[in-house]
Structures are given as structure tokens and as C-alpha cells.
Amino acid sequence: MAALVRRSLRCLVKLQVEPRGSSLIILRHMSQVEKPLSGKSALVTGSTSGIGLGIARALAGSGCNIVFTGHKDEAGIRELHQEFTRKHNVQANYIPAELTRPGDIEKLCHETMAYYPEGVNILINAAGIQHVCPIEKFPLERWDTMLSVMLTAPFQITKHLLPAMKTKGWGRIVNVSTVHGLVASVNKCAYVAAKHGLNGLTKVVALETAGTGVTCNSICPGWVLSTMMEQQIAQASAENGISWDEAKWLLISQKQPSMQFATIEQVSASVVYLCSPAADQMTGSCMTMDGGWTAQ
């Protein structure tokens, strides 16, 4: 603490004796140190709730401008916009898009490029949905919807936004996968198939961009106490005739040896790390955060 105070006093003294232009440079430098992603921009899908929103908040907190998209009413969108712009002092733009529709995805990408003509620096594919039932009862329309949102949409968005990243010589693509992109569970055929495919897409993009300054990684958390997880807990509670808390511990005890949920904040911090210079040589990785799930 004493060292921090001395360093701050030195900065204040320097601001007093330097010319005005130099002072602005010093202030800008200090801001960049505090906000490692200042000047960067990110498109985050599924960013109006859950893990996607947590990631958008963490990026904004690191100084990154945010393009956010997802399902939310107008009042909720206004509230999030104010949070990004006032709390974090970054630019924020909301673009509505239904990720099952290729035309909406193209519109999302074109409008993003209109806000950032040189392209966004960071792409986070975080949108996800779930449906749990045995394969013989799994509706085809649910299968199509889930693969569209969690595999086809990341492919399309990456295809549109990657060229600008390569032109600039810097970019970060993080696909929010799951431990189910590495191992399987019963009654989750579409989710497991989509997330395995997303991890495969991650590796291909990483190889195709190797050496360009663009990296592509996926993050694979186990159980995270998110909106989607809460829906699964509610379903387990109803199906087994047990309380919500009992269903929560039933699910986590079956898979996650740590017996603790990962938090949205932990997942979000990992994404910020993947966007940092410390992760320059991390590409093609499927980064697990699963409390020992896949170590079994």
C-alpha cells in the first residue's frame, strides 16, 4: 500500500510539472493501465442475461466497448445500456437479432461494422439454450434450433467478422462452450452435439488464424449457477418430487467433485484473461473450469 501511495504521489507531481499535452498523455497511460482493454470493442452474443451478460460486464469493466444482443424487453435494454455507459464509461450498442435466422445474423454483423467500420476486436459467442429429454422423444425443431443458435450462428458471425481482425493483425474469438463439449451426459443430445461441434470449430479457426495475431479459444465450464442451470434444477425438482435445493445438490453431486458451482464472475474473468496479452500464445484451447468433472 505504501508503495502504491508513493507511486501515485510521483504521478501527481509529474502532472503538476509537465506541460498540458504531456499531462494528457500521462493520464491516458494511467487509464490504459487500469483498463487493459481500453479502446477495444467486442460483440457479445447472448449478453442480456446469464454468462453472456457477465462476460459483457467484465469486458466493459476492463474498458472495452460493447455491442450486446439477446432477448430482453425495452426497459431492460435501456437499463443495461445505462449500466455499460455510466458505470463503466464505455460505448454500448444494442442490436436485436434472432440467431436462428441467417438474415438476422447478417444484419447483426453489418450493423456491428457500421458502429466499428474497422471491425470489432473481440467476438464472444455466448448465446446458448437447453432442452433435456431422451433422444427418442427429442423434437426435431428443438434440435434444429439448438444447433442453429450454438453452432451455426458462431460459424456465421466468425465468418463475417474475422477478416477485419486479420487485416488489423489482432483479434480475440472466445466461444463459450461447456464441459459437455468434451464429455457427454444423457438426455442432452442436441446440447452435447452442438458444444462438441463448437469446440471443433474453435480448433479449426485457431489453425487458420495461427500467426496472424488473432486467437480463437473456447471456455468449457462445468455447472455454473446461471439462468440456464436454474431451469435444469427446477426441472429436476419437478421430475423427482424434491425441493429446489435438494435438486441442486443432486445435480452437482453427480458430476462435479468439488461440490461447488463455478460462478459467472469466474467464467467472465477467464474470458478477460483470454483477451489479454498474457494469452497471446493461447489458441485452439478448450479451457476447462469444471471442479474436477473431466478429471474423473
Residue 231 — φ and ψ, nearest 5°? -65, -40
Phi/psi zone of residue 42: left (φ > 0), alpha (ψ -120 to 50 degrees), beta?
Answer: beta
Q: What are the grid coordinates assigned to 181, written together?
A: 463439449
Cell of 295: 478429471
Whether residue 88 contacts residue 61, with contact meaning beta carbons closer than 8 Å, is answered with yes
Catalytically annotated residues: 191
Half-sphere exposure of 167 (CA within 13 A, CB side): 9
Residues 122, 114: Cα–Cα separation, whole Å: 16
Q: One-letter amino acid identity for 243?
A: S
| Integer Cα distance of 5 and 11 in angstroms | 10
Query: Which residue in 188, 138, 177, 186 sits closest to 154, CA to CA?
Result: 177
C-alpha cell at 16: 503538476
Copy the grid coordinates of residue 57: 460486464
CB-side neighbour CA atoms (13 Å) of 227: 13
